[in-house]
């Protein structure tokens, strides 16, 4: 039992890292759920238009996450070896990547937005208005473009704070921003306190305001607490990054960037395949994914915890301890998510009833939630495996494990089932989700091989 369960000191450290991340994620996704419900009160077309744009924005968000994660691996290990200059270089790399991604995605959404939204618009049994849905999506997207820059810079700062042990500040900033978002959503969507009812445009404006608030809090705190964030001293005195380090970050980070772009676009492609069964499926998937994300916070937070705790141990050269604690972290994650999945399945019939949509959409959303709840232990294991491999810089392996798996296994199966069979959406969804059992076996084998035990702060890491 000691092999899989830690002592009190271990769990104190685990909770110190995980709880702030979990709280922020839970609150963020709870408010996303409330946002989804508020937009859903406007009608199925409005909810579908917003859901489609948010699916496209999801690709952008994961591109930012993947782009800065490569440098973040080095940040974590530089912090473990107490190298402030190394941390400064990694922050500069993150900023370059974030700004480049913003420019690329803004251009794509401005010039190809209508075409991207239209990929998800298909007639279904309930004959919903596709043209209206496109209009709502376009209006929402036009305003949401303004949140991309503050979101990207905020991710650079928040990610660095977490990687250097400051997990509470991003949590507090996130909570305040979420409160701002929630209040403004209520005021602007429905026209309260003398404001006009802006509908989907009000939802977008509230999100933009919240992003700027969150960015301001994180940046101001970081630069006014130099005694704790010692690496910010001289951060902008130069934007130069040593070529040798830049090359190492590129080697480790490029697979992560490509992975996140391919994985998120793969998830988007899966949803596009599901949408072939009709616009009502888009609404049901939107409800299901928004509710599921609230419960998925458990394994998302544990993934970040694995990356931070294991990465710091690897950077400090404590290889055997890293292996031991990683095994215990994975065990805890699976058990936590099993319990969370049970709660999620119990609540699945209730939550969709809150939405102002058709009975068919509510029933399908409930069924999709139950399937996702059953898969949570598998998701927990594969997610922890991914972050274990990433903590040691095995980013090409994570690329194969994550996005290549989606595009070579999941997407082809969904594509064939959606285009060449009349299979209903529920069995199609179940088949695609169960493919992750294969990924679970692969993750177990990769973790056991220990090729991830690697110190990146040295020119040649060794275990």
Q: What are the DSSP calls for 422-449, one per residue? A: ---HHHHHHHHHHTHHHHHHHHHHHHHH
Which pLDDT does position 215 carry in this prediction? Answer: 96
Packed helices 436-449 and 376-391: angle between N→C axes, nearest 10 degrees: 40
* Maximal CA-CA distance, the chain: 64
Supply 406's token pair.
Answer: 């989606």
The size of the chain, in residues, is 463
Which pLDDT does position 126 carry in this prediction? Answer: 58
Supply 144's token pair.
Answer: 């949401």
Please state, in angstroms and rounded to a whole number, the distance separating the CA atoms of residues 425 and 321. 46
Asked if residues 29 and 293 have their Cβ atoms less than 8 Å apart, the reply is yes
Which pLDDT does position 127 carry in this prediction? Answer: 61
HSE-CB of 174 using CA atoms within 13 angstroms: 24
pTM: 0.74
Which pLDDT does position 333 carry in this prediction? Answer: 95
Q: Which of 218, 107, 112, 203 is nearest to 155 (CA)?
A: 218
Number of helices (H), then strands (E), in the chain: 17, 0
Asked if residues 45 and 128 have their Cβ atoms less than 8 Å apart, the reply is yes
Which pLDDT does position 124 carry in this prediction? Answer: 59
Please state, in angstroms and rounded to a whole number, the distance separating the CA atoms of residues 447 and 439. 12
Q: Which residue has the tokens 């298909």?
A: 122
Burial class of residue 173 in the structure, from the number of CB atoms within 10 Å of its CB (0-12 exposed, 13-18 middle, 19+ buried)? buried
List of the chain residues with pLDDT < 50: 459-463
Which pLDDT does position 175 carry in this prediction? Answer: 86
Which pLDDT does position 461 carry in this prediction? Answer: 43
Which pLDDT does position 179 carry in this prediction? Answer: 87
Please state, in angstroms and rounded to a whole number, the distance separating the CA atoms of residues 331 and 326. 9
Which pLDDT does position 462 carry in this prediction? Answer: 43
Please report the beta strands in 19-85, taking only residues with DSSP state E, as ranges in sequence order: none
Which pLDDT does position 327 carry in this prediction? Answer: 93
């Amino acid at each position: 039992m000691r092999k899989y369960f830690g002592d009190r000191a271990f769990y104190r450290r685990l909770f110190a890292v995980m709880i702030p991340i979990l709280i922020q994620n839970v609150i963020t996704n709870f408010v996303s759920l409330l946002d989804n419900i508020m937009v859903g009160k406007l009608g199925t077309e409005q909810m579908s238009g917003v859901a489609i744009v948010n699916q496209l924005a999801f690709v952008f968000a994961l591109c930012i996450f993947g782009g800065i994660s490569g440098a973040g691996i080095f940040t974590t290990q530089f912090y473990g070896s107490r190298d402030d200059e190394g941390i400064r270089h990694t922050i500069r790399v993150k900023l370059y990547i974030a700004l480049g991604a913003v420019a690329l995605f803004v251009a794509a959404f401005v010039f190809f937005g209508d075409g991207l939204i239209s990929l998800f618009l298909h007639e279904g049994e309930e004959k919903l208005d596709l043209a209206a849905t496109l209009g709502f999506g376009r209006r929402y997207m036009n305003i949401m473009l303004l949140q991309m820059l503050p979101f990207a810079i905020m991710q650079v700062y928040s990610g660095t704070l977490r990687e250097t042990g400051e997990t509470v500040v991003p949590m507090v900033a996130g909570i305040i921003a979420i409160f701002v978002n929630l209040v403004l959503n209520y005021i602007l969507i429905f026209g309260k306190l003398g404001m006009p009812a802006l509908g989907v445009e009000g939802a977008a404006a509230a999100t933009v305001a919240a992003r700027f608030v969150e960015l301001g809090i994180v940046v101001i705190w970081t630069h006014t607490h130099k005694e704790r964030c010692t690496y910010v001293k001289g951060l902008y005195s130069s934007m130069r990054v040593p070529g040798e380090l830049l090359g190492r970050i590129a080697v480790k980070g490029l697979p992560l960037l490509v992975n996140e772009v391919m994985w998120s676009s793969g998830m988007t492609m899966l949803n596009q395949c599901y949408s072939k069964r009709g616009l009502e499926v888009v609404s049901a998937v939107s409800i299901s994914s928004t509710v599921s994300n609230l419960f998925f916070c458990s394994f998302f937070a544990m993934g970040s915890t694995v990356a931070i705790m294991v990465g710091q141990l690897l950077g400090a050269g404590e290889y055997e301890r890293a292996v031991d604690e990683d095994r215990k972290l994975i065990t805890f994650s699976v058990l936590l998510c099993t319990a969370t999945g049970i709660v999620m399945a119990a609540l699945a019939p209730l939550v969709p009833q809150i939405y102002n949509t058709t009975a068919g959409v509510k029933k399908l959303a409930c069924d999709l939630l139950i399937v996702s709840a059953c898969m949570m232990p598998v998701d927990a294991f594969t997610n922890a495996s991914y972050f274990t491999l990433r903590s040691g810089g095995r980013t090409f392996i994570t690329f194969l494990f994550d996005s290549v798996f989606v595009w070579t296994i999941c997407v082809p199966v969904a594509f064939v089932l959606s285009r060449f069979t009349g299979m209903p959406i529920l069995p199609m969804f179940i088949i695609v989700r169960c493919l992750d059992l294969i990924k679970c076996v692969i993750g177990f084998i990769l973790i056991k091989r220990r090729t991830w035990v690697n110190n990146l702060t040295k020119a040649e890491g060794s275990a």
